[in-house]
Amino acid sequence: MMIFKRIILGGCLIGASFFVACQSNAEEPSSEANQAQTSEAESDANQEDEKSLEVNEPSELALLMRSMYDKNLALKQDIKAGKIPESFPEDFLNIHTAQANENLNETFDALAKEYIANMEAITQAKTTEEGVKAYNAMVNTCASCHTIYCQGPLAKIRRMKIKDFESEL
């Protein structure tokens, strides 16, 4: 019985020390500085980011967010290669219903709609330039919502942008 209790207690302590993904990145150097860095520095920074993903009991929304992050990074590569997707993963629509760790309100709903609209806009792009523009607009919506709700991943989200094309747009 004692041992059993200890296991449960241990589990709780581990859980408590990991559940701060929304805050844990907040101390990162300013995103402006990050944006100016080379892609070499980018990969260093990405390693740091891995730590913030080690959360013990993520919410449905947090899991969805991780998958959006991964899939949209893959999308970034496609778009840079001139491949415009015909659709986006349907499970992204769960942003409207997924259960979160914090209380969300109408502002969240409005921004979630905007995010989905921006995902759709990417599929409408006719050229690589339009694709890049639409992709960056989508990342901006991730960032707008994250300035309000969950600032930890903000720097990492800003680094998702396609920068190489920006001067031409």
Judge whether 93 and 76 are in contact, CB under 8 Å: no
- Please list, in sequence order, all residues whose beta carbon lies within 8 angstroms of the beta carbon of residue 96, skipping any fewer than 6 positions away: 109, 112, 113, 116
C-alpha to C-alpha distance for 48 and 42, rounded to whole angstroms: 10
Binding residues for ligand HEC, rule CB under 6 A, total: 28
Among 26, 53, 93, 137, which residue sits at the site for ligand HEC (rule: CB under 6 A)?
Answer: 53
**21 forms part of the interface with ligand HEC (CB under 6 A):** yes
142 sits near ligand HEC (criterion: CB under 6 A): yes
* DSSP alpha helix (H) spans, 19-167: 21-24, 31-36, 39-52, 60-80, 106-124, 128-148, 154-158
Closest CB to ligand HEC among residues 132, 157: 157
Q: Considering only 5-13, 27-35, 40-48, 58-66, which stretch makes contact with ligand HEC by CB under 6 A?
A: 58-66
Q: Which residues of 61-89 are buried (b: 16+ CB within 10 A; e: fewer)?
A: bbebbeebbeebeebbeebeeeebeeebe
3 state SS of 104: coil
Query: Which of 31, 58, 94, 165 lies at the binding interface for ligand HEC (CB under 6 A)?
Result: 58
> Does 69 engage in binding with ligand HEC (CB under 6 A)?
yes
Give min distance, CB of 6 to ligand HEC, in A. 28
**Of the residues 28, 79, 88, 108, which one makes contact with ligand HEC according to CB under 6 A:** 108
Closest C-alpha to 164, from 139, 137, 129, 140? 129
150 binds ligand HEC (CB under 6 A): yes
Q: Which residues bind ligand HEC (CB under 6 A)?
A: 21-22, 53, 55, 58-59, 61-62, 65-66, 68-69, 72, 100-102, 108, 111-112, 115, 141-142, 145-146, 149-150, 153, 157
